[in-house]
Structure 1
């Protein structure tokens, strides 16, 4: 490692080994599939809440949010503001529903409600969402560690991936939850340390940061006009509400945790604890972005270095090339926002603390990836293997399938991360992919839960129309210029909003027409 001092390397290695040992410790309890997926319902609500918070606060937040705030403003914070309403609906309707069914999979009920196709469709959407998320997080962590170590992004993904696979496979959901408790604390501590270190480097401290932020409109949450074409406040708020409703109500990562609690009250407590921690902590990362903007504005020579690096990577040419300098001069802050945090870490964080910060970013990645791997393996085993291949699977055989599926999901997730190398904005890519895959799943679930009289045929019609709308909104930019009027005029974050409402409304219209 060419940049990291020995002390920082030691801190990171100790952290990685500790996470693996947690998996080894909990492996003694994983004697059945129920232990692997539910921890036999013995996890306290406060630990589940911190675990859910840690899953929300991924490396996409740790790296992508400061990059967004640096390149723009606090518009993306509207996502966090949508969480309380989604959590209220989850604790009032979703948590009691899942606890009453007793099914560890979030999608088993869809088959009972609409048939096999509905369950399969939701499972495919979920698995695609998880692979996109795991891939984006692998990419985000490798982006930072490459700047620190000089190693290739592929090698970094493979090494971190192996560690995550080991403790997730060995420890099951109990290891995932308890490691996430530690990781959640570590991430929060890391954010506070970074803010302190940046403010310390700004001569006027917070006063300068506030003055620059006000002058540059950095604290804006976006226009309050009802503009659904650009990233207005309402677009991000609606996107956040539907995504968070999907997270709390349909995402196996969260639904599975409801079953690890001892009772429904503890499960509800975990949801609210997650919200009350996540909303203020997510704000810290917007503060970091604004602090970094002020610092680099006051140090233009450092900013030029980052621009040259970004231009060099875009063109695939050496930094010394004249074309790189020409491109660098035209770049806007939004074009290199994701590179700001890694650069600051390399050059401005002192030895010892750097190892702690890198461990915090690693924890942000590892918590979300391990959670996604465990949830995906559970869904594969319950909804695919035991549904289509081996209905009479013994408990020990199911446990073996869970182990194998966990490894496979981890490997495919790494491949997805490698495929993302070269993207411009980590957060934008993740938000777009999650909106595409999650929209149809949430709409179908709400149709089944709310519209009691909707039948299988209503659900099929609604889903087909919804999928067509989602595909059109996603790919209409490919329509030739002379037919531009056929393109989707709305912002990409509206895909999940429109897709969800289309399935729900069309399904209900079909029901009403059928009953006339």
Structure 2
């Protein structure tokens, strides 16, 4: 059972988040404040928030479990992150920033039409429900092991804690609490590494040498075997597409980036988030390798149990509370961000588009109510979708969302990089692209990481061909400024090429790019 000291640390931590949410929420007056913080946020907490969302509790527990079995090779999944960041900063983000959007799916309707917008909205919501449910599951699993309580009790507690401070403070609370939670995560990480080494009784490099002898440091695999998840080519192509969707076309990430005061803040936020995210992920994998030596290669029924067993059975009083708070920090930094973004998308893309009289802006009260309803959906999906999984939860989530990443990327690529794509063509392309990805996953015997690439290529190809055949409701002149090349020409012709000394033009190299 957890000690009173550890319980106190966790309770103080959660109460602290609620206080921050309440304090920041006092200034929220309307929807713009709730969803975009009045576009006034400094870049550093934004960057920390984006990184914190990706390094969720899945990484805190799932990454060590994955590395325990597969070694350092799972880091290959992240080699596409720098390429993805370069791509979105160089091409797509200037377009979305220029339009001053609240939901990036508003862009899809402006450029293509309502059918494509609804498909990308559905893709985002399904993707987010899968991700956020897994992020709830991990800390709930830890608490279950410690307390013996039923998941049906623990999951609502975890979700409700996140809902309350998200409702109280909106996106401002999300970003600032994520920044605080990043610090907590680092503390939990450092304590874990130090105590594992102390338990092994060897120095860091001696321990790594033992892991190397067991084959845990083999990272580069240039095999063309498509069944391997961590092979170089799979990670380079499939992984990069997955990260482009994440950083460039996912409301959860782009919404926080668009709260920045300027384009300089946007680009700084991207760089900070990618840098910190990769370092943290690498260190979580390193913990898995150290635990392999600590447990002397002992087999576990579930890879998710490895880190949990270490926390529960091998950490001293006080540190247990800190590390569990770190796991909660990782979970809540992801839950709050996605919860706010799902609410944003539902309000802007569904409620205001179809149910609000004369498309009037939804009230702050309605926006908060939507957040609460999504919380209930998350609780239900978590209990149905993740109970009983024995694989690394990180790998399980990657497998689930890989079917969605490619078609979503394909829709945005068609919108941003062609003038031929139209609503009917892209709609058909997304549907058929998803079906092709589904068949590829079922019959090709390939790893899940290839699916985003297959989904992108099939969606783009089919969508483009259908757009040439099917009539468009928009003229080329109407859509030009919504493409990368069209906006570039417009900005260059008008002489508006910089903001605060930083380029706002797509396809323009600057020091950030």
TM-score when normalising by structure 2: 0.88
Contact 1:75/1:233 (CA < 8 Å) preserved in 2? no
Structure 2 residue runs without a partner (length 5+): 472-513
> Which of 426, 429, 438 in structure 1 is aligned with 2:405?
438
The correspondence of residues 339-418 of structure 1 with structure 2, limited to 5 A, is: 339-392=305-358, 395=361, 397-418=362-383
| Structure 1 CA distance for aligned equivalents of residues 197 and 358 of structure 2 | 60
- Root mean square deviation of aligned Cα: 1.8
- 2:393 matches 1:456: no
Tell me what 2:303 maps to: 337
| Cα shift at 1:267 | 0.8
| Cα shift at 1:512 | 6.2
Structure 1 residue runs without a partner (length 5+): 311-335, 477-486
205-214 or 48-57, which deviates more: 205-214
Give the secondary-structure state (helix, strand or coil) at the position aligned to 1:392. helix
TM-score when normalising by structure 1: 0.87
Tell me what 2:181 maps to: 183
| Structure 2 CA distance for aligned equivalents of residues 358 and 238 of structure 1 | 35
| Structure 2 CA distance for aligned equivalents of residues 188 and 204 of structure 1 | 22
- 2:437 matches 1:470: yes
| Cα shift at 1:70 | 0.4
231-240 or 70-79, which deviates more: 231-240
Tell me what 1:281 maps to: 280
| Cα shift at 1:400 | 1.9
| Structure 1 CA distance for aligned equivalents of residues 42 and 15 of structure 2 | 25
| Cα shift at 1:490 | 1.9
Tell me what 1:481 maps to: none
| Structure 1 CA distance for aligned equivalents of residues 469 and 149 of structure 2 | 61
| Cα shift at 1:240 | 2.4
| Structure 2 CA distance for aligned equivalents of residues 260 and 498 of structure 1 | 33
| Cα shift at 1:133 | 0.6
Contact 1:137/1:369 (CA < 8 Å) preserved in 2? yes
73-82 or 206-215, which deviates more: 206-215
**Higher share of residues assigned helix:** 1
Give the secondary-structure state (helix, strand or coil) at the position aligned to 2:363. helix
| Structure 2 CA distance for aligned equivalents of residues 489 and 8 of structure 1 | 46
| Cα shift at 1:222 | 5.1
Tell me what 1:148 maps to: 146
Contact 1:75/1:236 (CA < 8 Å) preserved in 2? no
> Which of 87, 107, 110 in structure 1 is aligned with 2:85?
87
| Structure 1 CA distance for aligned equivalents of residues 366 and 88 of structure 2 | 30
Tell me what 2:458 maps to: 502
| Cα shift at 1:511 | 5.2
Tell me what 2:136 maps to: 138
| Cα shift at 1:245 | 0.5
| Cα shift at 1:514 | 8.1
Tell me what 2:163 maps to: 165
Q: String of CA shifts for 1:319-366, please: whole Å, max 9, x gaps.
A: xxxxxxxxxxxxxxxxx3210111111111111111111101001000
Paired residues, what number?
Answer: 468
| Cα shift at 1:432 | 1.1
| Structure 1 CA distance for aligned equivalents of residues 237 and 380 of structure 2 | 31
Q: Compared with structure 1, are the counterparts of its residues 347 and 460 closer, same or farther at alpha carbon in structure 2 (3 Å cutoff)?
A: closer
Contact 2:424/2:470 (CA < 8 Å) preserved in 1? no
| Structure 2 CA distance for aligned equivalents of residues 272 and 89 of structure 1 | 12
Tell me what 1:239 maps to: 238
| Cα shift at 1:66 | 0.3
Q: Compared with structure 1, are the counterparts of its residues 230 and 10 closer, same or farther at alpha carbon in structure 2 (3 Å cutoff)?
A: same
Q: String of CA shifts for 1:165-214, please: whole Å, max 9, x gaps.
A: 10001100000000000001111221111111101111233244222221
Q: String of CA shifts for 1:431-473, please: whole Å, max 9, x gaps.
A: 0111122221111011110112223343234223212202323
237-246 or 264-273, which deviates more: 237-246
| Structure 2 CA distance for aligned equivalents of residues 54 and 93 of structure 1 | 24
| Cα shift at 1:391 | 4.7
| Structure 1 CA distance for aligned equivalents of residues 409 and 218 of structure 2 | 30
Give the secondary-structure state (helix, strand or coil) at the position aligned to 2:141. helix
| Cα shift at 1:510 | 4.4
